[in-house]
Structure 1
Amino acid sequence: MLSVATTVGIVVALLIPTIEFFQTVDLFDFLTGTKWSPLFADAHFGVLPLVSGTLLTTFWALCICIPFGLGAAIYLSEYAPERARRILKPILEVLAGIPTVVYGFFALVFVTPLLQKIWFLPGNPPSTFNALSAGLVMGVMILPTVASISEDAMSAVPRGLREGAFALGATRLQVATRVVVPAALSGIVASFVLGISRAVGETMIVLIAAGNQPNLTIDPTKPVQTMTAFIAAAGIGDQPTGSIGYKTIFAVGTTLFVMTFLMNLVSARLVRRFREAYE
């Protein structure tokens, strides 16, 4: 009841200023506009640059947390000895306890200069603030979440399935990838969705390292601004209460809320679809 009441309170707190915002700004222009400068004299309210920045950093975070997180989960569940598992899993989960502001400065002062030094692809190297370093470090932050939940799901797969596969002559790799992973797919999908939700909602890393510039681009070497970064930057108290700039914060927050809500609906359907029940 408390969680439901909290959710309802969040929706009400977001919805009222958002409705007032869209009485001034056209909804279609907000969703399809390609320029975002709501706090300037020549204001533009197209949210697409913020959405693209959010999706761009999330994509690069997933490139790190999904393969490495799933690989770590497979190793801990199927390969690591019990003693190694007891040591390695807590060490991995320590990454989840590091403050995100530390990750942000790590991306800015270490990862970005490193990328600039080793850059070998065509085009200019990453700028001082860029989506790539923010996304990569965000993936490292989310990796323990994906690895831990996926490992728990794999460990819950009955031992009999593994023994049956070994009896048919399967190798350990075949058992891990063709038996255990499909059987634990609902938990693995849930870990992926939770990782995506954390990436979409992350604030400090992108606020510090991504540049806070609303560019509509898919180039990860350029600075971008995410929805959470705009909310953090614009919500520090400089906007008068009731102004259009103040209501913009709630409009972006509602957009982010709707995106994560739809993502959770899709994930719930996927988890139900791939759920395996064992006696």
Structure 2
Amino acid sequence: MPTPLLEAQEVVKHYGQVHALDGAAFTAQAGEVVALIGDNGAGKSTLVKILSGAVAPDAGRVLIDGEPVRLSGPLDAQRRGLETVYQDLALAPDLDAAANLYLGRELYRRGLLGRLGFLNRAAMREAAVEAFAELGVSLRDVGVSVASLSGGQRQSVAVARAVAFASRLIFLDEPTAALGVVQRGHVLDTIRRVRDRGITVVLISHNMPEVLAVADRVEVLRLGRRVASFTAARTSVDELVGAMTGALDTIGEAA
């Protein structure tokens, strides 16, 4: 097997008496869609926050290209080409959709005005329109505040931001949870296009049919540990649910 792009080994994270992760493992290869699934409380979101630099583990290792790394924060992960769409979206509600797309990466005007801190709002809005069109998202105006958008539209803004800037890997934590059927389809198509560009996608989802429709592999967490890993084309919803719940004694490609 090639060296994984991203790997977690024996990761532990406790919040007081709650063991969110208890020796968790995870592997993502370059250029694949790998789904991370598990029941509520399995530790999926905590593991993603550790892998994306938002939370520090209590123990264990995170490796990029086979080399142990200590991510100092989300900006450190971004500098390494890792982008994340969290469940809470991490948007600035008082800013417009275009400004949220470039949050922390603002474009400045050329020359003296740029050096004085004047933003190139026209360029950001133009790029935002293109990014949203790629996702099939229709906004009445990219200049309106995110607070005035629907839940599905806000989700789409967060997904578009990650897709626009990822160079190596994107974490998508329940990216279709608040979307309608048509927008879900657009997001799944976008995941495939991102994968085809050689960028790894880590998909966290409770929607098993969506997982099997788009993922190359599926890794299963239960009670803070990886309990199984499947090739998506060779498994089923029943097998995935059995691995998640512990209902099956023998779990296919058990980890």
Scaled by the length of structure 1, the TM-score of the pair is: 0.25
User: Hey, which of these two has a bigger chunk of strand by percent?
Assistant: 2
Larger of the two Rg values belongs to structure: 1
Scaled by the length of structure 2, the TM-score of the pair is: 0.27
